[in-house]
Amino acid sequence: MFYQKTVKYFLIFSFFSLLFFSSNLNAEISVENEWARVTPSGTGSVYMEIKNNGNSDDKLLSASSDKAGMVMIHRSIREGDISKMIHIHDGITIPGNSSVSLKPGDYHLMLMNLDKNLPLGDKISIILNFEKNNSLEINPVAKLRPPKMHAHK
């Protein structure tokens, strides 16, 4: 009887420590100020600030959305007077205890074949997949123009 009880408590303990550690891992990454700029032609750019509160680096590897045919990681770069977008294949590194901004003229998520019936002001569910942390869902609002950001003074 004693043995059975020990096993039972051990299993309960294992279950909760598993819960604790997996939720702990997720808490290291947080996303703020997410928003999406959509076009009538059915593409969209998604911007956000990704914070890594953990001590080790992580990487945003990919993203997906049920409102878009495909989601790619892009970066806008300037070559002389020409601005163009390049497809980032190896992800975006989010250094430990630091953050990376996806913003106009820089990194962004590119939504391809976006649902054309999506009304402005609606939220677009997007899943972000990281190398180490668990996947995270964000819900940026579809807009035509950038929202007014808080002024950091």
Q: Would you tell me which residues interact with Cu ion (CB under 5 A)?
A: 74, 85, 110
CB of 74 vs Cu ion, minimal distance in Å: 3
To 10 degrees, the CA torsion angle through 85, 91, 96, 102? Answer: 30
Identify which of residues 68 and 110 has a Cβ nearer to Cu ion in the complex: 110
* SS3 annotation, 47-90: EEEEEECCCCCEEEEEEEECCEEEEEEEEEEEECCEEEEEECCC
CB of 111 vs Cu ion, minimal distance in Å: 9
CB of 43 vs Cu ion, minimal distance in Å: 8
CB of 150 vs Cu ion, minimal distance in Å: 25
Residue nearest Cu ion (C-beta atom): 74
Identify which of residues 29 and 110 has a Cβ nearer to Cu ion in the complex: 110
CB atoms within 10 A of CB 122: 16
> Which residue is listed with tokens 């990376």?
100
Q: Strands 82-87 and 68-79, how do they pair?
A: antiparallel
Identify which of residues 75 and 132 has a Cβ nearer to Cu ion in the complex: 75
Q: Is 133 helix (H, G, I), strand (E, B) or coil?
A: coil
Identify which of residues 65 and 133 has a Cβ nearer to Cu ion in the complex: 65
